[in-house]
Every structure is written in structure tokens, then in C-alpha cells.
Amino acid sequence: MSEHADIDLGRTVRLTIPAKAEYITLSRLALAGFSRVRSFPDETLADLKLALTEACSNSVRHAYGDGDGHVDISFELRDDRLIVEVADDGSGFAHDLEPTNGDEELSEGGLGIAIIRSIADEVEIGGGPSGKGSRLRFVKLL
């Protein structure tokens, strides 16, 4: 499986990577490329890279078991925000992790979701675009 990226006029970048840990770095490099299009404070970029790494890691670790698969990542840069979406067609996960008494459920993968929620201004978790798998979308206001 090969990785590819494309850019459209809406300042959206889509990247498809194999669901293997060694390819997560490509998603971080794509994100860092946005700092050439629009200046981010170093701390914001570092936080976004952490959130993206956690989201991709969830798909890589849990979506396909030992099988082959891919992770679709999109970045949409708007005037006031960056929208990041990570999706897979794997086995999915329990995406109903809602705060209980102010605490996150810290089961496997729950800590990553808590990290993403602490960094992002908006987080949506649901099923994948094909009706299976999972989709995690987060928004960072700029």
C-alpha cells in the first residue's frame, strides 16, 4: 500500500497511510507543513502534533489487529481554525467515552482521548465513513 497526499483549493489536505506505527510520522510532517501556510505558535503546533499522534495511534493499535489496513487523515485550514479528522475502516472502538463526574474513562485508548480533549476546542468521535471503523475529528481554534 502506498501513501499519498493531495491538496485542493479549499486548503484541505488528505493523507492515507498504512495502519502501521512507522507511518504516523508522515501525518505529523503534513501537519507541520501548515506552519508554512499559516504561522502557529510553537506550543500550539506541538500540542496539535501530540493530539494527531494520539488519534492516529488509536487507529493503528486498535482498528485492524494484526491485519492490513489504512488510516485516512484530513486537515482543513480555515481562517479561524484547523480541523483534523482521522478515520479507519477497522473494527472500531467504544466511542461513547463521556466524562463521568469530571473524569475520563482511562481504559486502553481512553488516556489518548483525554489528551486530545485537553488540547482541542472541539472533539467528535463516531463511526467511520463507510459505516464501520471509527472517526475522530478535532478542531483547534487559531
Residue ranges in the chain whose pLDDT is less than 50:
1-2, 6-9, 95-108
Spatial contact of 38 and 142, defined as CB atoms under 8 Å apart: yes
Spell out the domains of the chain, with CATH numbers in brackets: 4-141 (3.30.565.10)
Q: SS in 3 state form for the chain?
A: CCCEEEECCCCEEEEEEECCHHHHHHHHHHHHHHHHHCCCCHHHHHHHHHHHHHHHHHHHHHCCCCCCCEEEEEEEECCCEEEEEEEECCCCCCCCCCCECCECCCCCCHHHHHHHHHHCCEEEEEECCCCCCEEEEEEEEC
> Which are the contacts of 113, defined by CB distance < 8 A and separation ≥ 6?
54, 58, 97, 104, 123, 125, 136
Q: How many residues in the chain? A: 142
In angstroms, the CA 100 to CA 79 distance is 34
